[in-house]
Chains A and B, each alone.
Chain A
Amino acid sequence: AQSVSQHNHHVILSEAASLELGCNYSYGGTVNLFWYVQYPGQHLQLLLKYFSGDPLVKGIKGFEAEFIKSKFSFNLRKPSVQWSDTAEYFCAVNAGEYGNKLVFGAGTILRVKS
């Protein structure tokens, strides 16, 4: 079965610090990869996605993620965080063999101090 691991459950950063959130998945075949974000009081929104092609994916609000197939990883990065990035971030995987369902990690709560 697929599984997704997010290594840090809570991260606290100061504004302008760099961010990297780890995500590893267990499935060995072709995968589609996603990062979703949930801002306080709001619903899940797509931050970025990888289906194929360039493994470095750029998303909204200055976020990017790199797919490293050999490491089964899809880490999320942002060079300089803002207070408004305070949110919970979820990595998710979809593998064709398992249909269209998404398998989510447990989430990482990011708090940015102003």
Chain B
Amino acid sequence: GAGVSQTPSNKVTEKGKYVELRCDPISGHTALYWYRQSLGQGPEFLIYFQGTGAADDSGLPNDRFFAVRPEGSVSTLKIQRTERGDSAVYLCASSFHSSEQFFGPGTRLTVL
């Protein structure tokens, strides 16, 4: 497909569990972004990769959150010891260098 894809589309987990969310960016896009969107709010920046390295992780709320992009393409957002407050839609976006960002459909995470 031509767009950004994210898996799974929905994830339900229990408090304290570990989850991984995957993002496949548009082919050739060098930059990849993770955002989180809570109900009634706009997307909130988490982390940004340029190639394989995290260029800006200032939005990660705490050390339970971690993201990787080992080969400069697919990225995984990892959340340890999930809490009910982590429930949100996690959005991934990609761009070619600093141009406009293209968003994926998101992963809806529910922590029970």
Q: In the complex, are the beta carbons of A106 and B42 less than 8 A apart?
A: yes
Stretch from A11-19, A41-49, A71-79 at the B interface: A41-49
Contact of A102 (CB < 8 Å), options: B40, B45, B104: B45
B112 CB within 8 Å of chain A: no
Q: In the complex, are the beta carbons of A104 and B43 less than 8 A apart?
A: yes
Which of under 10, 10 to 19, 20 to 34, or 35 or more describes the interface residues of A?
20 to 34
Given contacts A90-B42, A102-B45, contact A49 B56 (CB under 8 A): no
A112 CB within 8 Å of chain B: no
Residues A60-114 near B (CB distance < 8 A): 90, 92, 99-107
Contact of A100 (CB < 8 Å), options: B43, B95, B105: B95
Which DSSP category, helix, strand, loop or mixed, fits chain B's interface? strand
Contacts A43-B106, A44-B91, A100-B98 given; 20 further ones with Cβ under 8 A?
Answer: A9-B40, A43-B105, A44-B103, A46-B100, A46-B102, A90-B42, A90-B43, A99-B56, A100-B31, A100-B48, A100-B55, A100-B56, A101-B56, A102-B35, A102-B101, A104-B44, A105-B42, A106-B40, A107-B40, A107-B41
29 contacts between A and B (CB under 8 A): A4-B42, A6-B42, A34-B100, A36-B103, A42-B105, A43-B91, A43-B103, A43-B104, A43-B106, A44-B103, A45-B103, A90-B42, A90-B43, A92-B42, A99-B48, A100-B31, A100-B33, A100-B56, A100-B95, A101-B33, A101-B48, A101-B56, A102-B35, A102-B43, A104-B42, A106-B40, A106-B41, A106-B42, A107-B40
> Residues of B at under 8 Å CB distance from A?
31, 33, 35, 40-45, 48, 55-56, 59, 91, 93, 95, 98, 100-106
